[in-house]
Amino acid sequence: MNEKFLDFIQQFRNQAIAVAVSGGVDSICLLHWLAKINLKPTVLHVNHCLRDAAVVEAQYVQDTCTTLGLPCQIFCWTDDKPDTGLEAAARDARYKMMTDWCHQNNIDTLLVAHQADDQIETFLMNLARGSGVVGLSAMQPISYRNGIKIVRPLLNVFRNELIEYCTKNDIKYFSDEMNYDDKYTRVKIRQNRHLLSEKLGISDNRILLAIKNLGRARDALDSGIDTKIANVLHDDYALFTDSFLFDEPTDISLKLLGTLIKTIGKNYYQPRLNSLNTALNKLKSECKFTLGHCTIRRFNGQILIVPEGSKTSIRKKNEKLKRLKKIKKQN
């Protein structure tokens, strides 16, 4: 069993935790490792109702949990499926069902089985998009989604080690045919990533080191952002003078704008860097546009961000804030 995994997972002993298990090698191995070190998570499995084999996989996860003596909850995504963006919609639905269950059952930590190969693939996908520090720092070991702590204990473990463990211990797992379909960018990267090492001498461990260093830069960038945001965020909107953005270095301005849009639009991710750059340039003059489920308006030196579809009267927002300040002062 991987020592880095063991060192990381110790902090979650004696906590009520859940683990997402799809039936693939990554999550099945994680499940067996957790059971072996006597952690007792509740297993959450989502049947997306997209493949005939999904019923068999759900039953296998249930049977494995019975064998290991662990509780298991199976969800089915029965909503209408979109014609485009199916993968993202499935991911959002999956997390929504699992995090809702965690809230209902007083569990604040959900383990997921993203591993080192996933991390490198995410980095390379974001590199191809021209992402900044946030995208290039890839996945964080601990993050939050829908108010639940999302923990990734396998980010320093490579897929080959997981496969080797399952093979050696005769542990069955399933393979999703989508993992071999090269119409997906991630699959193309997975099939050709070896060229970086073989042709250029850029090893996987060096890429992981770069991601770790970028993560530290991301943490430094995040430092103080929450405090700044708290000063301009009011219920479900933000109102501030243009100097709030433009008196800062560009990287900070982009992070402030991205965080506000993510928060007010109730998004898991902030908009991509090129979209934020475009938005920041628009805001250098009076304008009104939408981005990330938000409407953004600049008028008379002030910028307002509200949920898309909400009213955008800056005058009325200012009047409301004055009334609130007066009430607060009187109390």
Q: 141-158 pLDDT, tens per residue?
A: 999 898 899 999 999 999
Q: What is the pLDDT of residue 331?
A: 65
Gap between the Cα atoms of 237 and 305, Å rounded: 6
For range 305-321, the mean pLDDT: 93
Length, in residues, of the chain: 331
Q: Indicate whether 50 pLDDT > 90.
A: no
For range 282-290, the mean pLDDT: 95
Q: What is the pTM of this model?
A: 0.81
pLDDT digits (tens, 9 = 90+) for 67-90: 999 999 999 998 888 888 888 888
Closest by CA position to 62, among listed 28, 98, 110: 28
Q: What is the pLDDT of residue 324?
A: 79
For range 43-56, the mean pLDDT: 90
Enumerate domains of the chain plus CATH numbers: 3-204 (3.40.50.620), 225-330 (3.30.465.60)
For range 205-232, the mean pLDDT: 89
For range 303-317, the mean pLDDT: 94
Q: Count the neighbouring beta carbons within 10 Å of the beta carbon of residue 89.
A: 16
Gap between the Cα atoms of 172 and 170, Å rounded: 6
Instruction: For residue 92, count CB atoms less than 10 angstroms from its CB and return exposed for 0-12, middle for 13-18, buried for 19 or more.
Output: middle
Task: Give the mean pLDDT of the chain.
Answer: 92
Q: Count the neighbouring beta carbons within 10 Å of the beta carbon of residue 145.
A: 16
Q: Count the neighbouring beta carbons within 10 Å of the beta carbon of residue 126.
A: 18
Gap between the Cα atoms of 65 and 28, Å rounded: 10
Gap between the Cα atoms of 131 and 63, Å rounded: 42
- Beta carbons within 8 Å of 107's beta carbon, 6+ residues apart: 16, 17, 18, 42, 101, 148
Task: Name the residue with higher pLDDT: 59 or 329.
Answer: 59
Q: What is the pLDDT of residue 284?
A: 93
Question: Phi and psi of 100, rounded to 5°?
Answer: -60, -45
